[in-house]
Amino acid sequence: MSEAALSGALPHRRRLGEALGGWLLSLPAALSFLLLLLLPTLAAVAMAFTDFELGLWPPAWIGLENFEEMWADRGFRQSFRNTVVYVGLVAPASVLLGLGLALLIEAGARGRAFFRAVFFLPVVSLTVAMAAAWQYLLHPTIGPLNAALRVLGVASPPAWLSSSDWVLLSLASIGVWEQAGFNMVLFMAGLTAIPRELREAASVDGVHSAFARFRLVTWPLLGPTTLFVVTITLIRSVRVFDTVAVLTRGGPNKASEVLLYTMYTEGFTFLRLGYSAAITLVFLVIVLALMLVQTRLLDRRVHYG
């Protein structure tokens, strides 16, 4: 081989080695994605069009019958309605509360680390342990909340977790408590990235009101963070399951049953995995639709500085 051909082959081999090294490094992540996410998702999509039940084999292809049954099922419609109400209560309240807490902590000169830890505590706490605490707090007879209401003159306080009128509002309040701290940390990260010089320049230009500086400077630059927080909060709210399973089990009279809990009971209580997979497919479509609508509507208004 000539010296010129040899010198040309060396860069080619180097590029080939780098490409091979890159593929080998990404192989574990690619296999994990394939085995743990893509294949189970495709299996659930295929199962949604069958009558698959545990103990009965082989499953039969039934087309859209699961979705037709779902459309006629009052229990599914109730859980869908409960999910929409829960998301409508939790998402805006937790986003606004997280933003307010982040602004208050950033404005304070002392105790930032303490308040960050206090408000972030629900995020890192075990759901089962917190559920036991909430069961005690909201207990109709011995709970501190109803005891305080009786002191204030309320003769018959609500049964927060066993009343059809109050249970969803109670779970939504717990959801706001759980998610506000997480949103607070995200907003604090966004606030840290905004240069203080911009707020000082606004003050020099005559914007002396704190609210005016927030509206003109802080809020537009928080656009990307807000879009991310809203997206994450909606997804976390739609997939609510643990508090419902631990505190109410969908009761009373399905007043707190949500989509994921219906999916769980159909699949693991009644062993109707085909019908449960159909609910899963509907759930995935809802999540994707929410993300698409948000990206199309909100991303156009976001200022990426």
Tens digits of per-residue pLDDT, 14-45? 777 777 877 888 888 889 988 888 898 898 88
50 within a domain of the structure (yes/no) = no
**In this structure, is residue 212 part of a structural domain?**
yes
State the Cα–Cα distance between residues 102 and 193, nearest whole angstrom: 13
Write down the pLDDT at residue 275.
92
d(CA 180, CA 244): 18
Print the domain residue range for 188.
Answer: 67-301
24 shares its domain with 81: no
Q: Does 88 lie in the same domain as 231?
A: yes
Query: Quick check: is 58 in a domain?
Result: no
Residue 52 covered by a domain: no
Question: What CATH number does the domain containing 155 carry?
Answer: 1.10.3720.10
Q: How many domains does the chain have?
A: 2
Q: Are residues 131 and 239 in the same domain?
A: yes
186 assigned to some structural domain: yes
Are residues 5 and 131 located together in one domain of the fold?
no
Shared-domain flag, residues 121 and 255: yes
Nearest to 262 by CA among 274, 253, 249, 252: 249
For residue 81, being part of any structural domain is answered with yes
Q: Say if residues 248 and 239 touch (Cβ distance below 8 Å).
A: no
Are residues 5 and 141 both part of a single domain?
no
If phi over 0 gives left and psi between -120 and 50 gives alpha, with beta otherwise, what is residue 300? Answer: alpha
Block means of pLDDT (10 residues each) for the chain, 305 residues, are: 51 75 85 88 90 85 91 91 94 93 78 73 78 87 89 86 92 92 90 78 72 80 86 90 90 90 91 92 87 71 55
**7 and 128 inside one domain:** no
- How many degrees, rounded to 5, is the angle at CA 292 between CA 286 and CA 102? 95
Q: What is the pTM of this model?
A: 0.85
8 in the same domain as 110 = no
92 & 15 share domain: no
Predicted pLDDT at 255: 92
Asked if 102 and 20 sit in the same domain, the reply is no
> pLDDT per residue over 273-288, tens digit each?
999 999 999 888 888 8
In a domain, 40, yes or no: no
- Tokens (6 digits) for 265: 């009971």
Decide if 44 is inside a domain: no
pLDDT of residue 6: 45
Nearest CA-CA partner of 249 in 161, 150, 132: 161
Q: What's the DSSP call for residue 34? A: I
Q: Do residue 295 and residue 153 come from a single domain?
A: yes
pLDDT at 291: 79
Output the pLDDT for position 300: 61
Give dist(CA 256, CA 231) in Å, integer: 23
The verdict on 2 and 126 lying in the same domain is: no
